[in-house]
Chain A
Amino acid sequence: MRHVISILVDNEPGVLARIAGLFTARGFNIESLCVAETEKKSLSRLTLVTSGDDWIIEQIIKRFENMINVIKVDDFKETESLQRELLIARVTPTSKTRSEVLRVADIFRAKVVDVGTKSYALEITGSKDKLEAFVEILRPLGLKEINRTGLISLKREKN
């Protein structure tokens, strides 16, 4: 099963290696990883997406909690949290597809962030599914390369 794990850690060197090391030890793949400072400068939040046996993931989370530099670990279910990702795509359309690319960008509420004589750079945020749909539609229209940040998430307020 797919897990989105959010980890609050001390903003210190070596912490990321410690966390990534636990995944390597278990032979698990990290699908995406995003780390940045939080509202407090001394803390970082790390959002990690992985999939695997629930019981083993639970074991890994317990080991995270045992680490000295880890403050809090959440294993988010999709409904409990906001999940977003940012993607930048470079498209080199032909003269025929040029307007189609801009129309697709408009439908997906993507922004044009760079324009050249041959290409556009588009920026889009959204859920994983939305981004994947966007990429699939751009592909026949001259998609050259993409780069994405990986998922970030925040807990929803409980009612």
Chain B
Amino acid sequence: MKKFLGAELFFETLYKLGIKTIFGLPGGYVLKIYDVMPSYAKKINHILTRHEQAATHMADGFSRASGLPGIILCTSGPAATNTITGISTAYADSVPVLIFTGQVPTPFLGSDAFQEADHIGITRTCTKHNTLVRKTIDLPKAIAEALYISNTGRKGPVLVDMPKDVIIGESTFNFPKSVKISSYDDNISLKNTEYKNFINAFKISKKPLFILGRGACSSDSQKHMRKILKKFKSPALTSILALGLISGSEYDCGVLDYDSSSISKNLIEESDLIISIGCDLSKIINIKKLQNKLLANINIDKVDLNVLNGSDINLHSDSGEFMKMLSDENQIDFDWTDNEISEIRNNYKINIKKEIDSNKKAKIFSLISRICPKDTIYCSDFSYDEVNLQKFLEISDYKNNLMSGGNGTPGYGFPAAIGATFSRPKSKVVSISSGKNFQFNMQEMIVAVEQKINLSIVVINDSSDEKYPGPNYKLLAESFNVRATRTNISTLLEKDLKKFLDYKGVTLIEILI
């Protein structure tokens, strides 16, 4: 039988698993993989990044924008430790990414060798699973299993550590026919008794309220959710990560998060049954406020169930399956009136408008989303000192909403935007960051230029801070060969902004506020 190098098995397996794009950076222990890469160049596109953290965010953005898994390849030690922030980001928001790291040869493991770090130990608490491959022959199986674990159940990052002798060793190609892991159960199906419990409570409730989280987006559940809202004429709130899931629905009452307006808080106050689908509730609301409510909690991860310690109705299920069953129930008339809901929606819009008028950054966000086409992917950063600005955008689909939620990673937006252009090359991609956040990963501009992608970068330069003034982003971008312009918010005209956002290629607009 034909023998392959470990490095060749790496590509052969990825190709068989349908992977077409990987993000990475070469280095010591993975050089063999880069040596054989040219012969696989037609099958697998490798994007050379300038920093491993950015590579991880790119793979994360690639995945969020398309639902496909994101792949990262890097070497050991400093490269692997650089990926930790990106891995934590993906872990907090349940994004399927696979991280392949090089490692010192197996005989030297644990000897403090050159560029050695204990990748398995370091990433234990920020990956869904991680594994060290010890023999070349096991590599295809390890990769197939890692992808399977990463992309099923509650999705998340999985790290595969590959020592140098595994990569340069030879073996036949043993591709597993099917992946079955005895100790891993991804077949989580809704229990009838749990569902009946819920339906009984649902039927006697007067004013049910839906809260939708990132978990509600993971299945192809958009149409079921819309059907549910229409059938039961009940309002829904989304978490900031589920923005766009029910956009345009007349029952969408806005965003629920810690700095939510009083409207969503009143809505919770008024309802008698709260149906939370795919949320990590403790991250978006003060749990104590739900103490005297009836809460139905639908989650694929048992850890996020039973948040009220016994008094809630828990359904351990995939959100898609639950939504499908609920959408097939008979119609029930609840006490909500259409007038009431449209008034809530109006008040929410008025509040958003007020914030846009008083907050310069919010104004820029809203202006950009007015100009850009409907199917635009928006990538932004969490900022330490601000409200979540993503809610000022008009987002048409949850796949168009790229931001770091649970981990709140500064510097996420820009590399994620680069990643998104590779999985959705036909969509417009806009990255909006404040100058401080942009600086975390600004070196990746060179990647965007090299790869000849279409990407609009908006940098909001908060120059009022005289003690720590930022660089001149226009000059900076031009040194990377990026077409750039600099403007002041007081003189910014919508048509100028539109003209600039319409340019092809990589462009940067710096807005001073």
A residues neighboring B (CB under 8 Å): 9-10, 14, 17-18, 21, 25, 55, 58-59, 62-63, 65-71
Tell me which residues from 295 to 327 in chain B have a Cβ below 8 Å from any Cβ of chain A.
Answer: 301-303, 305-306, 309
- CB-defined contacts of B181 to chain A, threshold 8 Å: 68
Q: Chain B 153-184, CB within 8 Å of chain A: the 1/0 string?
A: 01000000000000000000000000001111
- CB-defined contacts of B120 to chain A, threshold 8 Å: 14
Measured in the bound complex, the distance between the Cα atoms of B186 and A65 in whole Å is 12
Measured in the bound complex, the distance between the Cα atoms of B124 and A14 in whole Å is 10
Q: Of B124, B132, B182, B302, which one neighbours A66 at CB under 8 angstroms?
A: B302
Q: Chain B 106-130, CB within 8 Å of chain A: the 1/0 string?
A: 0000000000000011001100110
Q: Indicate whether B149 reaches chain A with its CB closer than 8 angstroms.
A: yes
CB within 8 Å for A65 and B302 given contacts A17-B121, A17-B124, A18-B124: yes
Measured in the bound complex, the distance between the Cα atoms of B306 and A21 in whole Å is 23
Q: Of A18, A66, A69, A71, which one neighbours B303 at CB under 8 angstroms?
A: A66
CB within 8 Å for A63 and B303 given contacts A68-B149, A71-B182: yes
- CB-defined contacts of B301 to chain A, threshold 8 Å: 66
Measured in the bound complex, the distance between the Cα atoms of B128 and A140 in whole Å is 52
Q: Chain B 413-425, CB within 8 Å of chain A: the 1/0 string?
A: 0000000000000
Q: Of B125, B129, B149, which one neighbours A21 at CB under 8 angstroms?
A: B125
**Judging by beta carbons under 8 Å apart, are B306 and A58 in contact?**
yes
Would you give 16 A-B contacts (Cβ < 8 Å), ordered by A?
A9-B183, A10-B183, A14-B120, A17-B121, A21-B124, A25-B125, A58-B306, A62-B303, A63-B303, A66-B154, A66-B302, A68-B128, A68-B184, A70-B183, A71-B182, A71-B183
B interface residues, how many (CB within 8 angstroms): 19
Measured in the bound complex, the distance between the Cα atoms of B182 and A70 in whole Å is 10
Chain B, residue nearest A69 (CB):
B183
Interface secondary structure of B, over-half rule: loop
Taking the nearest CB of chain B, how far is it from the CB of A89, in angstroms?
36
Taking the nearest CB of chain B, how far is it from the CB of A52, in angstroms?
15
Chain A, residue nearest B158 (CB):
A68
Taking the nearest CB of chain A, how far is it from the CB of B455, in angstroms?
37
Contacts across chains A and B counted by CB atoms under 8 Å: 33
CB within 8 Å for A59 and B303 given contacts A17-B121, A68-B183, A69-B183: yes
Chain B, residue nearest A54 (CB):
B309
- CB-defined contacts of A21 to chain B, threshold 8 Å: 124-125
**Judging by beta carbons under 8 Å apart, are B184 and A55 in contact?**
no
B residues neighboring A (CB under 8 Å): 120-121, 124-125, 128-129, 132, 149, 154, 181-184, 301-303, 305-306, 309
- CB-defined contacts of A67 to chain B, threshold 8 Å: 129
Chain B, residue nearest A43 (CB):
B183
Measured in the bound complex, the distance between the Cα atoms of B149 and A66 in whole Å is 11
**Judging by beta carbons under 8 Å apart, are A55 and B183 in contact?**
no
Measured in the bound complex, the distance between the Cα atoms of B305 and A70 in whole Å is 20
**Judging by beta carbons under 8 Å apart, are B309 and A55 in contact?**
yes
- CB-defined contacts of A65 to chain B, threshold 8 Å: 302
Taking the nearest CB of chain A, how far is it from the CB of B153, in angstroms?
9
Measured in the bound complex, the distance between the Cα atoms of B130 and A68 in whole Å is 9
Identify which of B120, B121, B302, B306 gathers the most chain A CB atoms within 10 Å of its CB: B302
Taking the nearest CB of chain A, how far is it from the CB of B427, in angstroms?
34
Measured in the bound complex, the distance between the Cα atoms of B181 and A70 in whole Å is 11
Q: Of B121, B132, B183, B302, which one neighbours A62 at CB under 8 angstroms?
A: B302
Measured in the bound complex, the distance between the Cα atoms of B154 and A9 in whole Å is 21
Measured in the bound complex, the distance between the Cα atoms of B302 and A70 in whole Å is 15
Taking the nearest CB of chain A, how far is it from the CB of B308, in angstroms?
10
Measured in the bound complex, the distance between the Cα atoms of B129 and A66 in whole Å is 10
Chain A, residue nearest B134 (CB):
A13
Measured in the bound complex, the distance between the Cα atoms of B122 and A21 in whole Å is 11
Chain B, residue nearest A61 (CB):
B302
Measured in the bound complex, the distance between the Cα atoms of B124 and A59 in whole Å is 18
Measured in the bound complex, the distance between the Cα atoms of B183 and A66 in whole Å is 10
- CB-defined contacts of B309 to chain A, threshold 8 Å: 55
Given contacts A14-B120, A66-B154, A68-B129, 17 further A-B contacts (CB under 8 A): A9-B183, A10-B183, A14-B132, A21-B124, A21-B125, A55-B309, A62-B302, A62-B303, A63-B303, A66-B301, A66-B302, A68-B128, A68-B149, A68-B181, A68-B183, A68-B184, A69-B183
Measured in the bound complex, the distance between the Cα atoms of B120 and A63 in whole Å is 18
Measured in the bound complex, the distance between the Cα atoms of B162 and A79 in whole Å is 47
Measured in the bound complex, the distance between the Cα atoms of B129 and A10 in whole Å is 14
- CB-defined contacts of B132 to chain A, threshold 8 Å: 14
- CB-defined contacts of A9 to chain B, threshold 8 Å: 183
Chain A, residue nearest B145 (CB):
A68
Measured in the bound complex, the distance between the Cα atoms of B101 and A45 in whole Å is 31
- CB-defined contacts of B305 to chain A, threshold 8 Å: 62
Measured in the bound complex, the distance between the Cα atoms of B302 and A67 in whole Å is 12
Chain B, residue nearest A25 (CB):
B125
- CB-defined contacts of A71 to chain B, threshold 8 Å: 182-183
- CB-defined contacts of B149 to chain A, threshold 8 Å: 68
Measured in the bound complex, the distance between the Cα atoms of B306 and A14 in whole Å is 29
Chain A, residue nearest B301 (CB):
A66
- CB-defined contacts of B306 to chain A, threshold 8 Å: 58
Chain B, residue nearest A72 (CB):
B183
- CB-defined contacts of A55 to chain B, threshold 8 Å: 309
Chain B, residue nearest A24 (CB):
B125
Chain A, residue nearest B130 (CB):
A14
Measured in the bound complex, the distance between the Cα atoms of B182 and A25 in whole Å is 27
Measured in the bound complex, the distance between the Cα atoms of B260 and A118 in whole Å is 76
- CB-defined contacts of A59 to chain B, threshold 8 Å: 303
- CB-defined contacts of A25 to chain B, threshold 8 Å: 125
Taking the nearest CB of chain A, how far is it from the CB of B310, in angstroms?
9
Taking the nearest CB of chain A, how far is it from the CB of B94, in angstroms?
12
- CB-defined contacts of A63 to chain B, threshold 8 Å: 303
